[in-house]
């Protein structure tokens, strides 16, 4: 990790933590224990788990795009996507809960992780809007 690399950003590290937790939760709650074949499932819970994985992974990718882009418009587009994906993850938690997940403490853990991520994200977003990028 070199200074100024995306890997050195605290928000990037938080996005990786969010992805790891999302992956663990998706694996735990899905009926299909192979998280890489969730797309082929017809189960609502598996579909939510797959969406959880996809969106949490996309957050990390959008952070990379925003970090590397020289275009203010591209940065703002990535920030908008990240906001949407964090809201989606909260909605997936609600969907899993409505689908009968009994271990709500895991969902609450993910909700807390999203809240922590969003707080850090807001600070990072302010630095991007200010033109710093880091």
Q: How many domains does the chain have?
A: 1
| Domain extent at residue 31 | 10-129
d(CA 109, CA 94): 13
Asked, for residue 103, whether it belongs to a domain, the answer is: yes
Would residue 3 count as lying in a domain?
no
- Tens-level pLDDT at each residue, the chain (134 residues): 345 789 999 999 999 999 999 999 988 888 765 555 545 556 888 889 889 999 999 999 999 999 999 999 999 999 999 999 999 999 999 999 999 999 999 999 999 999 999 999 999 999 887 654 44
Is residue 4 included in any domain, yes or no? Answer: no
Q: Cβ of 37: how many Cβ atoms within 10 Å?
A: 12
Establish if 5 belongs to a structural domain. Answer: no
In a domain, 14, yes or no: yes
Measured CA to CA, the distance from residue 92 to residue 24 in angstroms comes to: 14
Residues with Cβ within 8 Å of 6's Cβ and at least 6 positions away in sequence, in order, are 12, 63, 64, 67, 68
CB 18 within 8 A of CB 25: no
* Res 133: pLDDT: 45
Q: Is residue 85 part of a domain?
A: yes
The domain that holds 63 is classified in CATH as 1.20.1440
2 located within any domain: no
């Amino acid at each position: 990790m070199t200074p100024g690399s995306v890997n050195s950003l605290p928000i990037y590290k938080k996005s990786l933590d969010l992805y790891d937790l999302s992956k663990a939760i998706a694996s735990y709650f899905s009926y299909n224990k192979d998280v890489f074949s969730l797309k082929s499932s017809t189960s609502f819970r598996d579909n939510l788990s797959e969406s959880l994985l996809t969106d949490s992974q996309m957050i990390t990718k959008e952070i990379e795009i925003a970090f590397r882009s020289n275009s203010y418009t591209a940065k703002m587009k990535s920030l908008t996507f990240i906001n949407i994906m964090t809201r989606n993850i909260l909605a997936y938690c609600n969907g899993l809960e409505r689908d009968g997940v009994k271990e709500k403490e895991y969902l609450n853990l993910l909700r807390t992780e999203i809240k922590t991520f969003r707080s850090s994200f807001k600070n990072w977003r302010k630095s991007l809007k200010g033109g710093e990028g880091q």
